[in-house]
């Protein structure tokens, strides 16, 4: 950690103590259980209907796969693949899918955001991970290439306003701390090393989506802790 701060070379997700991985899952799980199916997916244009009918969904940077499993339980006709470049998290995600009994419609694969396999996804989701990536624009370009022509990129990011001054509140303080210790070093450790961090804000995230070639971008909904963003080609 000291090396990361003194050299600026960053610290990869996999270099942290394993409790970060389980702690992150516990931190975000309540939000996904409460909001993802009843609020966030219905706020996207036509996506709930598509997932009810049977759609192909990718969940990139899925960690322990909690968001993937929450969606799979709600949409039994759809198929879901969770991707993460951290293979130990993928092992845990597979175990969880088996325990919950959704392994028939969910699979998990170790893959990075710029090279995960498959094409024709109706939705590709990034939950609380785009800002951790070194090359979020490159990741967005890969999403464009792998989405169906009318597919949706769902980006859930920590809630943030566009200026530091506006983020000087209890939620912003928590996220800036996590960002300095985990998210920004993670991004700096990867190719490009953009270092968006957990308080990027909608304006900066819109720029990422536009640079990746997405023509439509909007805030679909929000909670005090989450920005829920929708991008389409
Ligand atoms: C803050 S965690 C979020 C995990 C999960 N989406 C959740 O909400 O619980 C960020 C995740 O992004 C993954 N990640 C970071 N950079 C990545 C990349 N370039 N490609 C794929 N996964 C990446 C990390 O391994 C980690 O599991």
Which pLDDT tens digit goes with each residue over 26-81?
A: 999 999 999 999 999 999 999 999 999 999 999 999 999 999 999 999 999 999 99
Distance (angstroms) between ligand 1 centre and the Cα of 165 equals 27
pLDDT of residue 2: 83
Q: What is the pLDDT of residues 160-176, one digit of tens each?
A: 999 999 999 999 999 99
Distance (angstroms) between ligand 1 centre and the Cα of 62 equals 6
Give the list of residues 6+ apart from residue 209 with CB closer than 8 angstroms, or none: 140, 153, 155, 217, 229, 231
Closest C-alpha residue for ligand 1 atom 4: 63
Report whether 155 contacts 136 (CB < 8 A). no
What mean pLDDT comes out for the span 81-110? 97
Looking at ligand 1, which atom is closest to the CA of residue 134?
19
Architecture of domain 2-232: 3-Layer(aba) Sandwich (3.40)
Q: How confident is the model at residue 115 (pLDDT cuts 50, 70, 90)?
A: very high
The answer, yes or no, to whether residue 95 has pLDDT greater than 80, is yes
Closest C-alpha residue for ligand 1 atom 27: 63
Give domain limits for the chain: 2-232
The answer, yes or no, to whether residue 1 has pLDDT greater than 80, is no
Closest C-alpha residue for ligand 1 atom 25: 86
């Amino acid at each position: 950690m000291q090396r990361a701060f003194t050299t600026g070379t960053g610290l990869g997700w996999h270099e942290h103590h394993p409790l970060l991985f389980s702690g992150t899952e516990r931190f975000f799980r309540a939000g996904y259980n409460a909001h993802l199916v009843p609020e966030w997916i219905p706020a996207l244009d036509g996506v709930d209907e598509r997932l009810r009918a049977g759609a192909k969904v990718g969940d990139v940077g899925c960690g322990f796969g909690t968001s993937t499993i929450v969606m799979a339980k709600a949409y039994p006709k759809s198929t879901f693949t969770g991707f993460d470049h951290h293979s130990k998290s993928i092992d845990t995600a597979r175990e969880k899918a088996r325990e919950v009994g959704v392994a028939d419609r969910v699979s998990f694969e170790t893959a990075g955001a710029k090279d995960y396999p498959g094409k024709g996804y109706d939705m590709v989701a990034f939950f609380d991970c785009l800002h951790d990536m070194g090359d979020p624009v490159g990741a967005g370009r890969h999403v464009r290439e792998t989405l169906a022509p009318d597919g949706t990129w769902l980006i859930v990011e920590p809630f943030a306003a566009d200026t530091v001054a506006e983020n000087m509140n209890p939620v912003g303080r928590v996220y800036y701390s996590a960002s300095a210790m985990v998210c920004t070093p993670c991004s700096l450790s990867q190719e490009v090393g953009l270092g968006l961090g957990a308080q990027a804000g909608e304006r900066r995230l819109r720029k990422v989506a536009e640079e990746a070639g997405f023509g439509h971008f909007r805030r679909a909904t929000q909670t005090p802790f989450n920005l829920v963003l929708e991008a389409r080609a």
